[in-house]
A = this chain, B = another copy of it.
């Protein structure tokens, strides 16, 4: 189910990366002034995103913040999701150093506990840093915005592939039990972290927020560990019998 979509995402990304950075939406090549204006729009959006949770995020709020007219804004971004995707690009690029890179290393059996916790904590810290825009991305995705959905999948897909590798499976990502286990583990981790970084739950946990969130992260890390150990056992039984 993820495979097909991933191809779609790759295509979407290369468009964002190359064309939209050098041309405006009328197809005009961006000169220095144009690039400056684009940067100003992105900076204004980031400023609004960093504000208190009730700050409205809309194209008109961004235009106001950047002191630009709507007509100018529309030359660069045709709607809010498109603008948010441009803000997301450098954030998702930083995911590699924040948590993806750690998952890329092979975690030995005897240090699986610490590595799982370190990974879950790093993933959570990344979400805490970018909570507002990641929740917006997921809301758009859940409400059928195809670009945001593809973008969200593109950030999970490599992690599922890496989890399959952590299970020492040499099967390609697909319909194998190990692949289903990796998908379900990743889905659970993402959801727990989404809930734990939600502004509403932040408000609920007023008595001692840190300790409680930490309990959930420890439990999530424990499930990851149990799932990985189980996947490794399956993979090793598979190799032993061939």
Which A residues are within 8 Å of any B CB, using their own CB? 1, 4-5, 138-139, 142-144, 149, 175, 177, 179-181, 183-185, 187-188, 190-192, 195, 200-201, 204-205, 211-212, 215-216, 218-220, 222-223, 226-227, 230
Taking a contact as CB atoms under 8 Å apart, the answer to whether B219 and A183 are in contact is yes
Chain B residue, CB-CB nearest to A149: B200
A132 CB, nearest partner CB in chain B, Å: 13
Residues of chain B within 8 A (CB-CB) of A177 are: 215, 218-219
> Given known contacts A184-B216, A223-B227, is B139 in contact with A205 (CB within 8 Å)?
no
30 contacts between A and B (CB under 8 A): A1-B205, A5-B204, A138-B142, A139-B142, A139-B143, A142-B142, A144-B200, A175-B211, A177-B215, A177-B218, A177-B219, A181-B219, A181-B223, A183-B216, A183-B219, A184-B188, A184-B192, A184-B223, A185-B223, A187-B191, A187-B192, A187-B195, A188-B192, A190-B191, A222-B227, A222-B230, A223-B223, A223-B227, A226-B226, A226-B230
Taking a contact as CB atoms under 8 Å apart, the answer to whether B181 and A212 are in contact is no
A179 CB, nearest partner CB in chain B, Å: 8
Interface of chain A: mostly helix, strand, loop or mixed: helix
A193 CB, nearest partner CB in chain B, Å: 10
Nearest 3 A/B pairs, CB to CB: A188-B188, A191-B191, A180-B219
Complex: A191 Cα to B181 Cα, angstroms: 14
Residues of chain B within 8 A (CB-CB) of A1 are: 201, 204-205, 212
Residues of chain B within 8 A (CB-CB) of A188 are: 184, 187-188, 191-192, 223
Residues of chain B within 8 A (CB-CB) of A175 are: 211-212, 215
Residues of chain B within 8 A (CB-CB) of A4 are: 204
Residues of chain B within 8 A (CB-CB) of A211 are: 175
Residues of chain B within 8 A (CB-CB) of A149 are: 200
Taking a contact as CB atoms under 8 Å apart, the answer to whether B142 and A215 are in contact is no
Residues of chain B within 8 A (CB-CB) of A183 are: 216, 219
A120 CB, nearest partner CB in chain B, Å: 10
